Amino acid sequence: MFANFRQAMAWLHTWFGLVLGFVLMAAFFFGALSVFDREIDRWTVPTTRIAPQPMPSFEQVLRPAFERMHPTPEAIDAMRSRVDGAMPQRFDTVVNWSAYTTHRDPVLELYAGYEVPNAKDPEEAIWAYDTIDPRNGKALPDDQLKIGSGFFYPMHYSLTLDWKNLGIWIVGFSALMMLAALVSGVIMHRKLLREFFTFRPGKARLRSVLDLHNLTGVVALPFHFFFAFTGLVIFASTYYFPVGQTQLHGLHELHEQVEAQETGLPHDRAGVPAGLASVDAMVAEAQRRWAADGKAGDVGFLMLQHVGDANGYVSVYRAGTDRIALVGDGIHFKASTGELIRVDPPATPTGRVSEFLTGLHLQHFRHWLLRWFYMLGGLAGAVCIATGFVFFVEKRKRQHAQRGSQGARIVDALAVTTVTGMVLATLGILVANRLLPENLPARGDWERYVFWCTWALALLHAGWRSAPVAQGLANPAWREQCWAIATLALAAVALNGISTGDYLWRTIATGYWPVAGIDLFLLCSAAVACLTARALKRRASAAQSRIAGMEMARV
């Protein structure tokens, strides 16, 4: 089919890059936004605009909050089909309580799992979730959509298509094709080093688009390769190759038994009620031990297993803010006495590689400059894919126009939707977040609808305005959607100030960067969109007058 290997790679790069580029664009763009997911949460849930807090006292804050929790009626309904006989309405046996925070979280997320007496799978628990203010334990409205960590972040890895994990599979396959596109791209262009330094903005249109595609692809090549690969590794054993849960389930079980014996952490309840010693004292002891190892002592994750049972234990994990590797350094205590059961041993060499790779992708560490580089790397990936679309269209549209083919026109309309349309949808949900009434029932669902509707409108608009592409001209939708981006971005900043009083000058004056940073980023986006729209306008007028000139000459 192909004369040589390079031709095969070019074919692969072109066609798989085109089809899966639409997915990759979303993965890169929402991945870049997820770098600041907690900050976006602050912008979108104004009641939580406070400084990050450490893990609070268990006895004073967490325990009363945990004891208040109970599965929602929706969770109970959802569980109904996985139970033999009647569904219990109360759940009193706590499998575990846990609390999770990071150095960027002013709010604390609580999770509680309860035993379901007649569940078909006796291991399955029913879950309750809560978000509290760690300063006083007051419950915060948990039904408000945390748009950063609860919507943009899942968009990044699953497109929020939860049915049968379809989204995770689509994104995973696209990540594999990203790797294939990078390898094939390198094989197609052997003059890698030269392309690193080549950008000819003034040259012919096609050449400068291709330069930018190569530049953003090559400059960030290690970044792109690394993120696509580690993203796959993070999900591989759970979703893509669940070998340990299926074919090699026996080996996995064997390991669990050995591990339970080695660690001394009971797998099951004893069935004997028991009290709870001071958890704060256990946390203090864990911090003393970390400090003795020269490690920062913030608690990231606290878990009580088999609550109220003689087999109960408390696990304290460190927040890995001081190193790249995603480490827990877990320390475990007997719940009833506070006696130390186990200190997790240092990871094996393989374990350290795994912790490093996942840590580098998920970035729990505290390093703001690196955090910005992640964001820029993600946006460079988005630019690389966007210029790939533009190159595909520019290369073909005149040919297609002569043949009367609609191919370039369709691809171009889809590219408009994926590039500017996606930004519009993102701005749409932010604007909706500030416009919808505060106590609207199912407010989060409405916000999501606005997101998808804005995106659908962008698609309709791009299709409706696409006719010039079939004549070898540019689609004016690019330009018009740039203006829409500028308008919505400015509107979002203004609405944030009007609805919360947190005007940009105030947030800057008080140094509240989570909100000030997002407002500034929105203003920059508006400026870039304006400049782009004006440049496109100039180019379109030049093309118009050239055609007019040609027609004049013919007359």
Taking the complex as a whole, the smallest distance from the CB of residue 381 to another protein amounts, in Å, to 18
Residue 53 neighbours by CB under 8 Å, 6+ apart: 101, 105, 106, 107, 108, 134, 135
Q: What tokens were used for 451?
A: 């997101």
Q: Residue 428 and residue 444: Cα distance in Å, rounded? A: 13
The least distance separating another protein from the CB of residue 165, rounded to whole angstroms, comes to 15
Q: Percent helix, strand, coil in the chain (nearest 5)?
A: 65, 10, 30
| Nearest to another protein of 120, 249 (CB atom) | 249
We find the least distance from the C-beta atom of residue 154 to another protein, in angstroms, to be: 22
Please choose, from the candidates 379, 338, 420, the residue with its C-alpha nearest in 3D space to the C-alpha of residue 521: 379
Cβ 31 vs Cβ 195: under 8 Å: no
| Closer CB to another protein, 202 or 345, in the complex | 345
CB nearer another protein, residue 41 or residue 195: 195
* Of 247 and 337, CB closest to another protein: 247
Q: Give the DSSP letter of residue 135.
A: T
Q: How far is the CB of 394 from another protein (least distance, A)?
A: 13
Give contact residues for another protein (rule: CB under 8 A).
Answer: 1-2, 5, 7-12, 14-15, 173, 176, 179-180, 183-184, 229, 232-233, 236-237, 240-241, 243-244, 247-248, 250-255, 348, 350-351, 353-354, 396, 399, 407
- By three-state DSSP, how is residue 249 classified? helix
Q: In what order do the strands lie in the sheet with 139-140?
A: 139-140, 125-132, 108-115, 94-100, 299-305, 313-318, 331-334, 340-343
Shortest Å distance, C-beta 347 to another protein: 9
Q: Smaller CB distance to another protein: residue 17 or 56?
A: 17
Q: Write the CB contacts of 400 (distance below 8 Å, at least 6 apart in sequence).
A: 406, 407, 408, 409, 470, 472
Q: How far apart are CA 355 and CA 537, in angstroms?
A: 49
Alpha carbon of residue 441 to chain centroid: 26
Beta strands in 62-161, from DSSP E residues, in sequence order: 94-100, 108-115, 125-132, 139-140
Q: Which is nearer to another protein, 67 or 253 (CB)?
A: 253
Comparing CB distances to another protein, the nearer of 19 and 456 is 19
Q: How far is the CB of 255 from another protein (least distance, A)?
A: 4
**Residue 208 CB, nearest approach to another protein (Å):** 20
Nearest distance, CB of residue 512 and another protein, angstroms: 40
203 Cβ neighbours under 8 A, 6+ residues apart: 211
CB 93 within 8 A of CB 114: yes
Q: How many Cβ atoms are within 10 Å of 57's Cβ, its own excluded?
A: 14
Quote the least distance from Cβ 9 to another protein, whole Å: 7
Between 9 and 65, whose beta carbon lies closer to another protein? 9
Q: Beta partners for 125?
A: 115
Task: Compare residues 94 and 326 and give the one whose CB is closer to another protein.
Answer: 326
